[in-house]
Structure formats: C-alpha cells, structure tokens
A and B are shown apart, each in its own frame.
Chain A
C-alpha cells in the first residue's frame, strides 16, 4: 500500500510519501525534512494517537486553570472520552509542569500531565 500522509508533528506539515505492508510495516518513506516523521507515519498507519491538550481547574492558585496534555499521545478514538475524564477533575495548587494529574487515563498507558506552573495564591 502507499499513500501521502501529512506529518502533523510540527507546523512544517511535510506531505510524506510512504509505502507499507501489514507484515513488514513501513517499507519506504520519502519527502520528509526530519526524523520525527518516521515514527509519526508508522503510528498514523498502524496505531494513530493524538495528544489531547486542554485545561483543568485549579483551586487556590495564581491562575484559575492549569493547562494539561496526554503523555504519551492517547489512541485517536479515545479523544472525547479522555476529555470527559479530564472535565470531571479539579486540582489543588501548587501545580508544576510535568505533574501527573490523572495516571493511566481510561486504563491506557497514558497519563494526563500538567503543562503550566500554577503557584499557590
């Protein structure tokens, strides 16, 4: 099989020409500017994931919200379910970048981690 997959790792958006088979995986990859595209197109074909970025309310902080992300990316099909899990949560300040706010969300291997430092007000 072959197709053109737009690499979405960064804004450059390389239109990557890729060939693959179910047995051997990716057999040829062309038209990409950096190595990050290799992993991206393989996962996009066999196991697409997405980083969900949103925010979570913080009590007692100098910001009302901490921004959060899934780490590593969660399966694409679970994006909205992950949002429901996140919207049910609040956290207490302080919050530091990298703090795990939900471990192994929805039983996946992915955590929801903070991406903003929120100090206690």
Chain B
C-alpha cells in the first residue's frame, strides 16, 4: 500500500461542523488540514435546507441553508484547506492512521489530530413501529427535503405528516408552496415538539391543521399509500378506544428525529454519553482518546446551526494546537448535570478559559434560573424566562469564576 499522506488535522465530515472546524484549524496554525466528505459536495444538510433562519447568532441576519454553507465553503477554500470529496472513512483507527476510500482508490492519512464531525442521520419507520402495509409513499422528512430541494423530484399530492418536529413543520410549508395538499400534521404528545416560530410560519400561515395527542395507528395501501388511520392517544401514550378515523392520502411523512452517526466514534472506542448519544468531551472538545476530537451534531443534536458552528470552531482551534504543540490544558474540573437538566456539555473543563456550556432541560420551565455551583458556592446564575427540551441552552462561564471551584467539581442545575 502507498505511504500514508501526512496531515496536521483531518476532519471527518464536510457539513457545517466540519467546515467551521477545518477553517479554524487552518487559521490556528495547522499547516495541512484535510476535510473528508463522502458526498460529492460539502455543506451537508444545509444544502437541502432552502428555508431561512440560519445565522441569526453569528451573522445577525436570517440566511438560507445554502447561503450559510456557501460562506463557510468559501472560507475553507480561501484558507486552502484540502477538501476530499466522495471520500468515505472505512477505518478511523484509534492511533489516527485513517483509511479512506474515494472514487479512485484507498488512501491512508497519518494525522496529528482527528475531528469526528459526522453529523446525524434520520430515524426511519422501523424506529416507531407503525402497523399496516408496506406501500410506496412513506418517507422520512429529510428524504423528501432532499428530493424536492436538491433533486427536483415531487413526492406526492396529498400528504399526512406524523410528528411536529421542526423539519416536519418546514416540509409542511414546502409541500404546500409546491402545490401539494397537506391534510394535517399530527403529534403524539399533547404539545408540538417544534419551535413556536415554525408553528406560526409553517402551519398557521397556511391553515394546516395540527392534531395534538394523535398518532398514525395504521398505514393503508398495497402498492401506494391510500390513507392512514389516525387515533387519539392518552397520557400513557396508549391509543384511546373509539377514536380511530381514516384519512385519505397518497404520502405519509415521518419526521421522526435524528440519530447521531456515531459509528466511527464507537469504532475507535471513545467513551460515549448516554444522555447525548455522542462522545464525552472536555472544553477543548477532546474525546477520551488522545488526539481525537468531536463536534457538531454527532456530539449533540443542535437545533440552531450557529451553535454547531461556534462549537466546531473551538474544536478546530484545539485540534490544531494539539497537533502542532502536543499541549492542551488538562480538564481537571468535573461537571455534573443536577436537578432539572438532562445533560451539561462539556463533561470536564480545565478552568483556564471561558467555557460556553450547552445543556437541555428535562421539561418545560418558566421563570427559573440555571445555576452553576461548586460545593454550595454560587459561580454563575442566569435567569431564564422560558426553557424547553426542544431548545438548547447555551451559557458562558468566564474563566475567572473557575477560581472559586471547590474539590474540582461543578454542578449545573435549575432553581426557582
């Protein structure tokens, strides 16, 4: 086999996280930076998200997905990052000797640092166990978004959407604008799971009905979907008898959710978090294996791309520093997610730099505070008028506050 290519930093995944990490790794002094993308274009999911609302944190304006991606693609090109397209990592290896298959051959890269930025894929029908036949016309929302917005293919004329996550809401509007009829959006929970802005712009603007506490209990049709049976569900998610009703449609959309694509992270053996389903990282975005970093949606599912960008820029800088100097501050302080919080990321911090913590609450909360405490000592308190599981919370703790940490432990929690 040919001798391996030698790089300072190699980034696996050319979506928004990988692009931001690659640009900043180069900017922070890494000499050779290679960005690996298995598709024939960089930009990842942003290429098919033609709606606007991206960039309000970073650029203070609402860009579309392709516009946001184009900015970072330009930046990566200007900084002379090497982008390898149609390149799939087939062996990530824990010692950072990566094996890549591209359309020509198999290549290896011996890299100082590796950043895993492989993003997410979608859950499919199998994940929610819907009864009924197996006809054509059942799609995940992301697949429909790709057909319509990238490949110029129509998917159906009369559509039911199961699940009110943001991508489902956005696709309801897209389908209406393209001339399809969206019969209804149903959600199994008593409240919608997408953000309020999308309920307004995607459903209310187009008079699309939203049925809460409702699920699709059966799919009908032999070759093509002919309809679905809807039913109300009770508080324990069980179907309420006598509420079944048939709705005719030729297409069913299942925007069921995202799974971090962690196969490579698991293959190299990094420690994983059951709360985020991503790697456990410190405030330099280092995993448990030296020189291997992770950021973006494979680390934690973001609802705002700007936050994925900011996180990945830090990971890119840290990966460059590690590759060129072999030194990063030790993560001596352990973080705990306390009352009301599902997780707090990063899991450990050095205390030598400002940290932007990200976290999600277990449930909706009003007029509470997020507090950072160490052995009873208050380090930071922030009032939050509104918190919900669908909204990632991002709070900066200045490095000066870490001087007051006792026993190298901090707990973040929700208080009245």
Contact = CB atoms under 8 A, between A and B. Distances in A.
Interface of A: 6-13, 15, 31, 34, 36, 50-55, 57, 63-65, 67-69, 76, 79-80, 83, 97, 115-117
A10 B392 CA distance: 13
A69 B197 contact: no
12 contacts: A6-B200, A10-B53, A11-B303, A50-B201, A51-B62, A54-B174, A65-B152, A76-B205, A97-B67, A115-B50, A116-B47, A116-B66
Interface residues on chain B, size class = 35 or more
Contacts of A68: 50
B57 A10 contact: yes
Contacts of B386: 15
Interface of B: 47, 50-53, 56-57, 60, 62-67, 70, 148-152, 166, 174, 177-178, 195-201, 205, 303-304, 385-386, 391
Nearest to A48: B205
A34 B58 CA distance: 13
A101 to B, nearest CB: 14
Nearest to B57: A10
B144 to A, nearest CB: 14
Nearest to A36: B56
A9 B50 contact: no
Contact of A67 (B62, B66, B197, B391): B66
A62 to B, nearest CB: 9
A6 B196 contact: yes
A109 B309 CA distance: 34
B304 A10 contact: yes
B152 A11 contact: no
B52 to A, nearest CB: 5
A55 B152 contact: yes
A54 B177 contact: yes
A83 B177 contact: yes
Contact of A64 (B57, B151, B197, B199): B151
Most buried by B among A8, A69, A80, A83: A8
A51 B56 CA distance: 15
A50 B205 contact: yes
Contacts of B56: 9-11, 34, 36
Nearest to B149: A55
A7 B386 CA distance: 14
Contact of A11 (B65, B70, B197): B197
B385 A8 contact: no
Most buried by A among B148, B200, B304: B200
A13 B303 CA distance: 12
A76 B199 CA distance: 16
A50 to B, nearest CB: 7
Contact of A31 (B64, B174, B199, B385): B385
A17 B152 CA distance: 41
Contacts of B63: 115
Given A12-B391, A83-B178, 8 more contacts: A9-B56, A9-B62, A36-B60, A50-B201, A51-B52, A97-B67, A115-B66, A117-B66
B177 A63 contact: no
Nearest to B73: A117
A52 B70 contact: no
A29 B67 CA distance: 31
A58 to B, nearest CB: 9
Contacts of B201: 8, 50
Contacts of A12: 195, 197, 304, 391
Contacts of B51: 53
A95 to B, nearest CB: 11
Nearest to B48: A67
Contacts of A53: 50-52, 64
Most buried by B among A15, A52, A53: A53
Given A6-B200, A10-B62, A11-B197, A64 B52 contact: no
A79 B62 contact: no
B368 to A, nearest CB: 15
A69 B65 CA distance: 11
Nearest to A51: B52
B64 A10 contact: no
B152 A115 contact: no
Nearest to A69: B64
Contact of B197 (A13, A34, A52): A13
